[in-house]
Amino acid sequence: MLGGMQDFELRVTTLLDHAAREHWAREIVTRWADGSETRTTWAGIARDARKLAQALERLGLKKGDRVATLAMNHGRHLVAWYGAAGMGGLIHTINPRLFDDQLAFIANHAEDKVLFYDRAFAPIVERLKSQWKTIEHYVCFDSDGPDGFEALLAAEDGSYDWVTGDEREPCMICYTSGTTGNPKGVIYTHRSTVIHALAEMQPDVFELSARTVAMPIVPMFHAVGWGLPWAGAAAGIKFVFSAVNDPLVLCDLMNREKVTHTAGVPTVWFAMFQHMDATGETPKYLKVVTIGGSAAPRAMIERLMKMGIRVNHAWGMTETSPIGTMGAPSWDWDELSFEAQVDQVTKQGKVPYGVELRVVDDEGVVQPRDGKSSGRLQVRGPWIVSRYFKADEAAVDADNWFDTGDVSVLHPDGTMQITDRAKDVIKSGGEWISSVDLENAAVGCAGVAEAAAIGVFHPKWDERPILLVVRKPGSAVTAEEVQAHLAKHVAKWWLPDEVHFVESLPHTATGKLLKTAIREQYKDFRLAAA
């Protein structure tokens, strides 16, 4: 048909161009590991990203090449994202908390050409350099020397036109660090990233505007830093980055820079609450706190809400760019009691436009959205993975459904509630017991610092739960007290057959409970009563 609209490729460089043109004076603040602070602006980020793109081309990189980072959150890391994508490359954020064999595997599998790293991670670089087969250049983000980031930029004039091309070209790669098997690389396209960024700005997701001052506590190396480095440019927000996650530093920085939005895993808030209790300090300007990565405990949600903060309980994965659902206030929010509001936020919320969810049972039968039928959560949409990097097969079925490995229920209003990881669910006599629910209930018991629930062999019920508990320092909480507390929160047949006290529990590199190791340890365990 003759006539129509203009057609522009949706490339991530247009996000930065927008920020640099329309929000050029908005600040990007960095608090470095050594305590120093630097300030730049979107104009500065854009100028430096162009210089970086020039430098990468000078180093011989070409369209499609991977540019790795081993770094915390800071303005130079942001420059690296846009610079790498701007020269047609893929920014590849590596999680420095991974184990050495994973670090070696990931960089080799991605065939990274350059690595930008924080000085704090220099020991990792030294240790792994000989194993990394494709990295030709190492650049230290926070070195003032000739090997440093600023020296690399200083050689360029910034007169550079972004590499253009189809919006379906890739701009980023991020590896998932599962508890089994080799990490898998998720490839994001310019198109998927821009559409995701547009969706993230909306009030029912991150609620990003020019007035937003965001401190992403979630590391930029973790699941696309939840997408904020891209969406923040689209909205022209002010960024406040901290390269360390000490609550004292964060709280002080939040108040000095008037941070309105943060995003991070629940652990961040455990630490922040301790700091608040000890010092009486409090982050005064916070309006929206997004919690994801793992389920936020009810007590945490309640405390933040009582501070007048909107708590966004999010669910997502590296494979979902990462926003899958967001627990924004429902349409009838103002008519709900505080308790009902908290109830709502303990669930993982609803999908934004773009994401579709369904729950299927073990036979693949789609379950009703009745708030009761639980099953494997599947997801699809324009920012959901279709195939892992170099994978022989698609990561999805013929209808694009991606199996998340989470177990959840869907409520009639579309709200999604994670009940467990599929592999962690405890199957007792054909019924499912949520290990996550048991653990969350247990940490609400006075004296309990952390808890892990696993299923162990039972001759009659196949599996029954046992609970491993780490006591808080100085606590002498007993198994009977824990059971009595649990009895108030879960069905009677969910109560663990035994409660064991342990000194500590194993964790993955990203801080989650390493259930595989715990199960391995208990694989020959027999219940006393069985």
CA distances from 188 to 9, 85, 90, 172, 191 (A): 15, 11, 9, 5, 8
CB of 323 to its own copies, least distance (A): 13
Q: Which of 12, 87, 234, 253 binds its own copies (CB under 8 A)?
A: 234
Cα separation of 151 and 160, whole Å? 18
Site string for its own copies, 10-49 (x = CB under 8 A): x---xx--x--xxxxxx-----------------------
CB of 366 to its own copies, least distance (A): 13
Our CB check for its own copies shows the closer of 28 and 328 to be 328
Q: Which of 6, 159, 180, 504 binds its own copies (CB under 8 A)?
A: 6
CB of 3 to its own copies, least distance (A): 4
Supply the DSSP symbol for 133. Answer: S
Supply the DSSP symbol for 318. Answer: G
Our CB check for its own copies shows the closer of 78 and 477 to be 78
> In Å, how far from its chain's centre is CA 351?
16
Our CB check for its own copies shows the closer of 147 and 356 to be 356
Q: Is 343 in the site for its own copies (CB under 8 A)?
A: no
Residue type, position 463, single letter? E
For residue 507, the cross-strand partners are 513
Length of the chain counted residue by residue:
530
Q: Which of 36, 164, 209, 478 binds its own copies (CB under 8 A)?
A: 209
Is 498 noted as a catalytic residue in this protein?
no
CB of 11 to its own copies, least distance (A): 11
Catalytic residue among 111, 432, 508, 512: 432
Q: Is 466 in the site for its own copies (CB under 8 A)?
A: no
The tokens describing 254, both together, are 């939040």
Q: Which of 8, 126, 277, 362 binds its own copies (CB under 8 A)?
A: 8
Q: Is 7 in the site for its own copies (CB under 8 A)?
A: yes
Size of the residue set binding its own copies (CB under 8 A): 74
The tokens describing 355, both together, are 């994401």
- Mutual angle of helices 228-235 and 12-22, in 10-degree steps: 40
Helices (DSSP H) in 71-177: which residue ranges?
75-86, 100-110, 122-128, 149-154
Q: Is 189 in the site for its own copies (CB under 8 A)?
A: yes
Site string for its own copies, 268-307 (x = CB under 8 A): ----------------------------------------
Q: Is 465 in the site for its own copies (CB under 8 A)?
A: no
SS (H, E, C) 34-89: CCCEEEEEHHHHHHHHHHHHHHHHHCCCCCCCEEEEECCCCHHHHHHHHHHHHCCC
Q: Given the rule CB under 8 A, which of 72-80, 235-243, 275-283, 294-302 is the region that contacts its own copies?
A: 235-243
Cβ(521)–Cβ(502) below 8 Å: no
Residue type, position 222, single letter? H
CA distances from 286 to 204, 250, 278, 289, 325 (A): 17, 12, 19, 7, 22
CB of 505 to its own copies, least distance (A): 34
Our CB check for its own copies shows the closer of 189 and 428 to be 189
Catalytic residue among 40, 41, 93, 176: 176
Q: Is 164 in the site for its own copies (CB under 8 A)?
A: no
Q: Is 263 in the site for its own copies (CB under 8 A)?
A: no
Q: How many CB atoms lie within 10 A of CB 477?
A: 18
Q: Given the rule CB under 8 A, which of 120-128, 327-335, 500-508, 512-520 is the region that contacts its own copies?
A: 327-335
The interface with its own copies within residues 376-405 (CB under 8 A) comprises 380-391, 396, 400, 402
The interface with its own copies within residues 53-72 (CB under 8 A) comprises 64
Q: Is 366 in the site for its own copies (CB under 8 A)?
A: no
Q: Which of 46, 235, 300, 426 binds its own copies (CB under 8 A)?
A: 235
Our CB check for its own copies shows the closer of 18 and 298 to be 18
SS (H, E, C) 211-251: CCEEEECCCCCCHHHHHHHHHHHHHCCEEEEECCCCHHHHH
Cβ(43)–Cβ(25) below 8 Å: yes
Q: Is 329 in the site for its own copies (CB under 8 A)?
A: yes
Catalytic residue among 284, 306, 390, 427: 427
Q: Which of 130, 181, 331, 473 binds its own copies (CB under 8 A)?
A: 331
The tokens describing 150, both together, are 């600023």
Cβ(512)–Cβ(420) below 8 Å: no
As a whole number of Å, the CA-based R_g of the chain is 23
Q: Which of 75, 88, 96, 170 binds its own copies (CB under 8 A)?
A: 170
Cβ(492)–Cβ(483) below 8 Å: no
Angle at 227 between CA 152 and CA 41, to 5 degrees: 45
Our CB check for its own copies shows the closer of 178 and 382 to be 382
Is 176 noted as a catalytic residue in this protein?
yes
CB of 487 to its own copies, least distance (A): 36
Q: Is 323 in the site for its own copies (CB under 8 A)?
A: no
Residue positions annotated with a catalytic role: 176, 319, 427, 432
